Chains A and B, each alone.
Chain A
Amino acid sequence: MATNLQTPAPYHNNFLREVEERVEEGEWVKMCMQCGVCAGSCPFGPHWEHSPQKIFMMIRAGKREEVLTSDAMWMCTSCYNCVVRCPRQLPITHIMHGLASYAHRLGLVPKGQPTHEFATMFWNNLAKKGRVNELKLTLALYFKDGLVAGIKTVVLAKRLNPMEIFGGHAIKDLKGFQAIIAKAREIEDKKQGLTG
């Protein structure tokens, strides 16, 4: 199909189409009836500029730039309140995740979006060894922006072993694990038309 990604006409369907085809669970966006229950259910609601229901309306209105650079989806705590209350049973959490991921792939995420950075780091951390090394993750964050996340106390509580920093948890078939990710990525990129 000939969707023009650059200049979506207002209230015409091309951006909605783009979302339906390229964003996880994006085909649900059209089913929203603007009741606003998601907006009212989000614990971080007070902090973002666009509620999910508003994001969906913006998508229909063809506001591509504003949607993909919005901080809304980065505020999702995956609490699923919106999902269980939505009268149309939209998988809102996943749509928000999907939009975030899509914005990331297009490089449209505002610089320094903290959740974006943490999320990326988290994935890289797990992709490296197949499991998340909490200590490395937090220390990395520590050096990044001086966050003191009570991590020392956890160490003191002997629940985290500092020796983890050298080596630590890893899966045996790392090669296979990474091959799976690579293959999955390859298929998904093809689907999203992001190859080449």
Chain B
Amino acid sequence: MADNKFAAYICAGCGIGETLDVKSLEKIAQKEGKMALVKSHPFLCSEEGVKTIQDDIANESVTHICIAACSRRAKTEAFSFPGISTARANLREGVLWVVAAGAEHDEVRQEMAEDYVRMGCAEVKKMILPQGNPDKTQAKNILVVGGGMAGMTSAIEAAEAGYDVVLVEKSGALGGFAKQLWKRVPFSAPYSEAQPTGVEELAARVTAHPRIKLHLNSTLAETAGAPGRFMIKIAQESGGVSDITVGAIVQATGFTPYDVNKLPELGGGQPNVVDQAGLETLARTANGAAIQRADGKVVNSVIFLQCAGQRDDSGTHLSYCSGHCCATSIKQAMYFKDANPDVDTMILYQDLRVPGMGEDFYRSAQDKGVTFTKGKATKVAGNGHGCSVEFKDLILDELTTLNADLVVLATGQVSNAGVDLDKWTEVSTAAESGDASAKEEQQRLRTTSVLKMNYRQGPDLPQLKHGFADSHFICFPYETRRTGIYAAGPTRRPMDLDQAITDATGAALKAIQAVENAAAGRASLPRVGDLSYPIVRLEGCTQCKRCTVECPFGAIDEDERRFPQFNEQRCRRCGTCMGACPVRVISFENYSCDTVGMQIKAVNIPDEDEDKPRILILACENDAYPALDMAGLQRQVYSAYVRAVPIRCLGSVNTIWITDALNSGYDGVMMMGCKRGDDYQCHFVKGSEMAYYRMSKIGDTLTQMGLEPERVQTLEIAITDSVRVAGLINDYVKQIKEIGLSPMKGFG
């Protein structure tokens, strides 16, 4: 890198100039930071300030710059220089705004500032400008798995935006579950009548669309590759297999109604008891006339039992609520009323769940004479002519039994998401250890898979809860754990047609985005647009498989020699692999063991007798680091002994950083990451989890070094913790002083 030229720019604005010795900061950048060019400016983010930098880039051919001013989260527009590696030394939020005021703190404040300049320079020295993933992909077409309402919607919406689509449907026809419906609930005002499903019209549009290629009677035999270059084997029922390449995948494989036969107590399996799907069939047969039972008897009284086998806290049936069933029963009760107002239709519910405009639909049903009873059915038994339903009326507070010609059970939606990966991991680990029955089980599981991915982490999308392949994130419902593959419709979450259509449209957009990102070699959420990607020096690799196992996104496969095979387009750039690697052969151009390691080493460690502890903070860039920034913004005061380094994710923390830090005389390390556990908040899934796990192992190392375990702390910090984090820092400094400074000083 002969032609690299490094420059440092120190801002004296926002009070930096008044409070800190900028001159000595300049010196440090020059002498210690080895910056070829060092300038300070009274107002660096001003047009004129920025221009000085641009001029140096243009005229002095500066390639790497360290900006010592405000936080990397501030003035990003002003300080963005395309094609230039840039590091930020946080003098404002990180020093000025948090160190106690007053002359007695001048020394430590200045030391802190100087260290941040040292760190900034050290970091930029090691930075390489990301060039983007060299193997750019071509495929921009989208595979949609499943030809129901959601699948057809994804297909048509993507096609209408100008993208080619391959639609694979298991059955011989499009339409899926919606095709079984007589009518659907209304999506628009006045929300008072059941509507035609429109499924035929959509199927016709899909079939006719020049950009959509249909594969009926087909399933996936294999999914290999990565976004932009997925290699798919499509198996026809007839036995033929065709190979295609696609850019992204939408899985809209729908749901299966919960098996009524599992509900004998509610009459499941009896002739005059049907589920909602069964009732739709009866309604379609009646075609608007009086609805008849299977035995031909015209139904004069019908009872709908809500939450049948749902919202079950006993662990026997579904524990969740399928959301659509209340509105669906209302719609079905209307089938009867519309055909003959004299039919007795009762809906037995516990909580009537018709959110939004569903309230109008509810009112409309009441107006038609559908009666609603808050109660819980305890027993449904067949009797000669129909059914007897035993239930508790919760309003009148009494047990009642009454008769009806027909009982409809509102059962739940069971996702068709494919193989549960936890089960898969369990089985495949056993299989690898040579367990024969496990091998068979693994084969069997594979046949039940929908996508049949050849990923190391398993053949289908990870499931979030209750078998649904949903996103874990409220703000990012499409943040998938398998880059470029998106679930849509009831496969993702129990939902009605209206939501499925919206969901499928959104999923189509994300698929489009995925192919565009892959083509440009960019990362997708959460590090959108990041051009860096993991680079591995295979010659150093020991095939320990930690990276392949720990990658939260299944980005890394293993070749036959068990070397890691990175699929950059699958990668989300969290660096978990980098943190996992014991031999440190994995790195990113602008984020590596060196870029961080050198910052840690750059800090000036005072001698023990100076009684000035140094505490390293490794802070998650998305939550903990902003929290520290905002502590500054709110002028929270915390100790000037800490040195904070933003990191992509706690998962990317390589233990070498910790041991190096302690070796070089740091007195303590605070690792600040997101909440872990079931409700984890880490957008890289288990970064925080991994850090805790790895640190639990570091204890021995510490004792070997003769250090107290307290010298390494792992903390959960939320972005809202700006006040708390300052407190934690101050408490920790106190604790360290009690333990005493590190004996390692001077050896590092």
Q: Which residue of A lies closest to B374 (CB)?
A: A34
Residues of B within 8 A of A34 (CB): 372, 374, 395
Whether B369 and A30, one on each chain, are in contact in the complex, defined by CB atoms closer than 8 angstroms, is yes
Q: Which residue of A lies closest to B359 (CB)?
A: A33
Residues of B within 8 A of A13 (CB): 342, 344, 369, 371
Kindly state whether residue B580 has any CB partner on chain A within 8 Å. Answer: no
Kindly state whether residue B367 has any CB partner on chain A within 8 Å. Answer: yes
Residues of A within 8 A of B393 (CB): 57, 61
Over the window 34-68 of chain A, the binary record of Cβ atoms lying under 8 Å from chain B Cβ atoms (1 yes, 0 no) is 10000000000000000001100110110000000
Residues of A within 8 A of B369 (CB): 13, 16, 30
What's the minimum C-beta distance from B354 to chain A, rounded to whole angstroms?
A: 11
Whether A10 and B402, one on each chain, are in contact in the complex, defined by CB atoms closer than 8 angstroms, is yes
Kindly state whether residue B363 has any CB partner on chain A within 8 Å. Answer: yes
Residues of B within 8 A of A169 (CB): none
Residues of A within 8 A of B395 (CB): 34, 53-54, 57
Residues of A within 8 A of B403 (CB): 9
What's the minimum C-beta distance from A2 to chain B, rounded to whole angstroms?
A: 9
Kindly state whether residue A31 has any CB partner on chain B within 8 Å. Answer: yes
In B352-411, which residues have CB < 8 Å from any A CB?
352, 362-363, 366-367, 369, 371-374, 393, 395-396, 400, 402-403
Q: Which residue of A lies closest to B398 (CB)?
A: A61
Q: Report how far A93 CA is from B366 CA in the complex, Å.
A: 20
Q: Report how far A11 CA is from B372 CA in the complex, Å.
A: 10
Q: Report how far A175 CA is from B395 CA in the complex, Å.
A: 50
Whether B373 and A11, one on each chain, are in contact in the complex, defined by CB atoms closer than 8 angstroms, is yes
Residues of A within 8 A of B344 (CB): 11-13
Q: State the interface size on chain B (CB cutoff 8 A).
A: 20
Whether A33 and B372, one on each chain, are in contact in the complex, defined by CB atoms closer than 8 angstroms, is yes
Kindly state whether residue B350 has any CB partner on chain A within 8 Å. Answer: no
Kindly state whether residue B346 has any CB partner on chain A within 8 Å. Answer: yes
In B405-435, which residues have CB < 8 Å from any A CB?
none
In A52-90, which residues have CB < 8 Å from any B CB?
53-54, 57-58, 60-61, 88
Residues of B within 8 A of A53 (CB): 395
Whether A61 and B367, one on each chain, are in contact in the complex, defined by CB atoms closer than 8 angstroms, is no
Q: Which of B367, B373, B396, B400 contacts A30 (CB 8 A)?
A: B367
Most chain B beta carbons < 10 A, residue from A9, A10, A12: A12
Residues of A within 8 A of B366 (CB): 30-31, 33
Kindly state whether residue B54 has any CB partner on chain A within 8 Å. Answer: no
What's the minimum C-beta distance from B209 to chain A, rounded to whole angstroms?
A: 45
Whether B396 and A9, one on each chain, are in contact in the complex, defined by CB atoms closer than 8 angstroms, is no
Q: Report how far A16 CA is from B393 CA in the complex, Å.
A: 17
Kindly state whether residue B310 has any CB partner on chain A within 8 Å. Answer: no
Kindly state whether residue B236 has any CB partner on chain A within 8 Å. Answer: no
Whether A58 and B396, one on each chain, are in contact in the complex, defined by CB atoms closer than 8 angstroms, is yes
Q: Which residue of B lies closest to A87 (CB)?
A: B359
Residues of B within 8 A of A10 (CB): 400, 402
Whether A11 and B402, one on each chain, are in contact in the complex, defined by CB atoms closer than 8 angstroms, is yes
Q: State the interface size on chain A (CB cutoff 8 A).
A: 18
Residues of B within 8 A of A11 (CB): 344, 346, 371, 373, 400, 402
Over the window 441-479 of chain B, the binary record of Cβ atoms lying under 8 Å from chain A Cβ atoms (1 yes, 0 no) is 000000000000000000000000000000000000000
What's the minimum C-beta distance from B182 to chain A, rounded to whole angstroms?
A: 23
Residues of B within 8 A of A1 (CB): 342
Q: Report how far A34 CA is from B366 CA in the complex, Å.
A: 12
Whether A12 and B301, one on each chain, are in contact in the complex, defined by CB atoms closer than 8 angstroms, is yes
What's the minimum C-beta distance from A14 to chain B, rounded to whole angstroms?
A: 9
What's the minimum C-beta distance from A31 to chain B, rounded to whole angstroms?
A: 5
What's the minimum C-beta distance from A54 to chain B, rounded to whole angstroms?
A: 7
Q: Which residue of A lies closest to B301 (CB)?
A: A12
Q: Report how far A58 CA is from B403 CA in the complex, Å.
A: 18
Q: Which residue of A lies closest to B393 (CB)?
A: A61
Q: Report how far A139 CA is from B367 CA in the complex, Å.
A: 47
What's the minimum C-beta distance from A23 to chain B, rounded to whole angstroms?
A: 16
What's the minimum C-beta distance from B378 to chain A, rounded to whole angstroms?
A: 15
Most chain B beta carbons < 10 A, residue from A11, A53, A61, A88: A11
Residues of A within 8 A of B371 (CB): 11, 13, 16, 30, 60
Q: Which residue of B lies closest to A50 (CB)?
A: B396
Residues of A within 8 A of B396 (CB): 54, 57-58, 61
Residues of A within 8 A of B352 (CB): 33
Q: Report how far A57 CA is from B255 CA in the complex, Å.
A: 36
What's the minimum C-beta distance from A15 to chain B, rounded to whole angstroms?
A: 11
What's the minimum C-beta distance from A65 to chain B, rounded to whole angstroms?
A: 14
Q: Report how far A16 CA is from B373 CA in the complex, Å.
A: 14
What's the minimum C-beta distance from A61 to chain B, rounded to whole angstroms?
A: 6
In B30-75, which residues have CB < 8 Å from any A CB?
none
What's the minimum C-beta distance from A91 to chain B, rounded to whole angstroms?
A: 15
What's the minimum C-beta distance from B383 to chain A, rounded to whole angstroms?
A: 14
Q: Report how far A32 CA is from B661 CA in the complex, Å.
A: 70
Q: Which residue of B lies closest to A13 (CB)?
A: B344
What's the minimum C-beta distance from A1 to chain B, rounded to whole angstroms?
A: 8
Q: Which residue of B lies closest to A63 (CB)?
A: B396
In B524-550, which residues have CB < 8 Å from any A CB?
none
Q: Report how far A9 CA is from B396 CA in the complex, Å.
A: 16
Q: Report how far A10 CA is from B374 CA in the complex, Å.
A: 15
What's the minimum C-beta distance from A51 to chain B, rounded to whole angstroms?
A: 10
Q: Report how far A10 CA is from B388 CA in the complex, Å.
A: 12
Q: Which residue of A lies closest to B368 (CB)?
A: A30
Whether A31 and B301, one on each chain, are in contact in the complex, defined by CB atoms closer than 8 angstroms, is no
Over the window 1-35 of chain A, the binary record of Cβ atoms lying under 8 Å from chain B Cβ atoms (1 yes, 0 no) is 10000000111110010000000000000110110
Contacts A31-B366, A31-B367, A61-B396 known; A9 to B374 CB distance under 8 Å?
A: no
What's the minimum C-beta distance from B610 to chain A, rounded to whole angstroms?
A: 71
Q: Report how far A58 CA is from B398 CA in the complex, Å.
A: 11
Q: What residues of chain B have their CB less than 8 Å away from a CB belonging to chain A?
A: 301, 342, 344, 346, 352, 362-363, 366-367, 369, 371-374, 393, 395-396, 400, 402-403
17 pairs across A/B with beta carbons < 8 Å? A10-B400, A11-B344, A11-B371, A11-B373, A11-B400, A16-B371, A30-B366, A33-B362, A33-B372, A34-B374, A34-B395, A53-B395, A54-B395, A57-B395, A57-B396, A61-B373, A88-B363
Q: What residues of chain A have their CB less than 8 Å away from a CB belonging to chain B?
A: 1, 9-13, 16, 30-31, 33-34, 53-54, 57-58, 60-61, 88
Since A13-B344, A31-B363 are in contact, a sample of 7 more A-B pairs with Cβ atoms closer than 8 Å, ordered by chain A residue number, is A1-B342, A12-B402, A16-B369, A30-B369, A31-B366, A33-B362, A88-B363
* 3 nearest CB pairs, A to B: A12-B344, A57-B395, A60-B371
